[in-house]
Chains A and B, each alone.
Chain A
């Protein structure tokens, strides 16, 4: 995983999450996607499909079981993208 890869993904996530979040809070890497942003499961799954298309990768839903924060999600995407 390269830092630029991670940073690019983190920025993309911050932009996309802020546009679909119900609450208006500043999104940091530590922000909890479900409890702090009030994003329901379907919105999150739809966001994952968008990210798959952006980077032309496959992100299995199962991998989201370990994702709580924005950082967790950015790290997951970065890892899959690097292995692609």
Chain B
């Protein structure tokens, strides 16, 4: 099979999973009306498939900051920070992130994906070990592979399994980086951070926490799981993204280890890429202020999360173990998931479709992302539609 034939085979596999004309992946969004509504084709839909958790995509403060930066500094930096230099905004945002977490060091990356890729591949290398949760995001897997370190997985959120694998590593644990996530993107559940910290200390490892889905969502000021659990002094490195609660694009790593700064000279995903544009940095800085002050937004977000989670549970769906901004209905097979996803769209609701192997344990997911800007009426309509489709599709199948 030559290179192009391999791509043809991949296309055939995708077609076999999704019938012709069903564009579940990369669906074209024609117009965006607000943080909760857009036009797909001729339909005005409720957006429940974005990660806009605080609903800040149209925050006037962020838009104004981005406009001002565009006017003052232009559209792009046109190169890497190593070669072309760092703008004031890059350095300011790094200081602001470090100060937000009460740490001494921070680095900004061009995307959230690169934040994990660059941090992991800068921290560990051949001869080291990474111990990762089996439900880790692809950016964690890819960062580990890029690093050359030995990769060991433990069962999702299973601390007995994690300790078993740590014990097997023997004296290699000193050079082991444990990587977990604040909120996992597939089922929306949280890592048992206190128990992870206990094991990290018992086996003398280093701990990296990815707060991509939990920044803005958990904790009094929105730091994430680290703040909710009060374990800021126990986590060695925190990564995160700007593309969810912060509503732009980019990523960060913060730490109380001053050695973090060396990643600027070791990490290819930091060095060999263009730095974030001035407008992106400016809107992120404005969003970070809103996020820190966003207690009311978090209250509303959690009210919406609980409302939808309870609605879906009552309707009979199998869900992840706890409510959160990511609520996934777990379906037995891709056909059911596709039917539900398509029917939701026909009812003007846009959610995410996740099929195996992306979904855990061979299941398929219809995944909702709730945000603080959704109205009670929107959440009620979504819940009622899910309930109707359960009766029409799943009960009929049973």
Tell me, yes or no, whether A41 is within 8 Å of chain B by CB.
yes
Could you give, for residues 350-361 of chain B, a 1 whenever the CB lies within 8 Å of some chain A CB and a 0 otherwise? 000000110010
Q: Is the CB of B153 within 8 A of A45?
A: yes
- Give CA–CA (A56, B161) in the complex, Å: 12
- In chain B, positions 118-164 with a C-beta closer than 8 Å to chain A are 129, 134, 144-145, 148-155, 164
Q: Is the CB of A43 within 8 A of B357?
A: yes
CB contact between A49 and one of B134, B148, B356 (< 8 Å): that residue: B134
A48 closest partner in B (C-beta): B153
Q: Is the CB of A61 within 8 A of B168?
A: no
Q: Is the CB of A43 within 8 A of B362?
A: yes
Tell me, yes or no, whether B165 is within 8 Å of chain A by CB.
yes
- Give CA–CA (A60, B144) in the complex, Å: 11
- Give CA–CA (A53, B165) in the complex, Å: 9
User: Which residues from chain A contact B149 at a C-beta distance below 8 Å?
Assistant: 62
User: Which residues from chain B contact A45 at a C-beta distance below 8 Å?
Assistant: 134, 153
- Give CA–CA (A9, B164) in the complex, Å: 21
Question: Quick one: given A49-B134, A53-B164, are A40 and B151 in contact (CB under 8 Å)?
Answer: no
User: Which residues from chain A contact B145 at a C-beta distance below 8 Å?
Assistant: 61-62
- In chain A, positions 24-48 with a C-beta closer than 8 Å to chain B are 40-43, 45-46, 48
Could you give, for residues 55-81 of chain A, a 1 whenever the CB lies within 8 Å of some chain B CB and a 0 otherwise? 011111110000000000000000000
A63 closest partner in B (C-beta): B150
- Count chain B residues whose beta carbon lies closer than 8 angstroms to a beta carbon of A: 20
What's the nearest-Cβ distance from chain B to residue A50, in Å? 10
Q: What are 30 pairs between A and B in contact, CB < 8 Å?
A: A40-B357, A41-B357, A42-B356, A42-B357, A42-B360, A42-B362, A43-B357, A45-B134, A46-B134, A48-B153, A49-B153, A49-B155, A52-B165, A53-B164, A57-B168, A58-B152, A59-B152, A60-B129, A60-B150, A60-B151, A60-B152, A61-B144, A61-B145, A61-B151, A61-B152, A61-B153, A62-B148, A62-B149, A62-B150, A62-B151
B145 closest partner in A (C-beta): A62
- Give CA–CA (A58, B149) in the complex, Å: 13
What's the nearest-Cβ distance from chain B to residue A29, in Å? 22
Interface centre among A43, A59, A62 (most CB of B within 10 A): A62
User: Which residues from chain B contact A43 at a C-beta distance below 8 Å?
Assistant: 357, 362
What's the nearest-Cβ distance from chain B to residue A83, in Å? 12
User: Which residues from chain A contact B134 at a C-beta distance below 8 Å?
Assistant: 45-46, 49
What's the nearest-Cβ distance from chain A to residue B8, in Å? 15
Tell me, yes or no, whether B389 is within 8 Å of chain A by CB.
no
Could you give, for residues 337-370 of chain B, a 1 whenever the CB lies within 8 Å of some chain A CB and a 0 otherwise? 0000000000000000000110010100000000
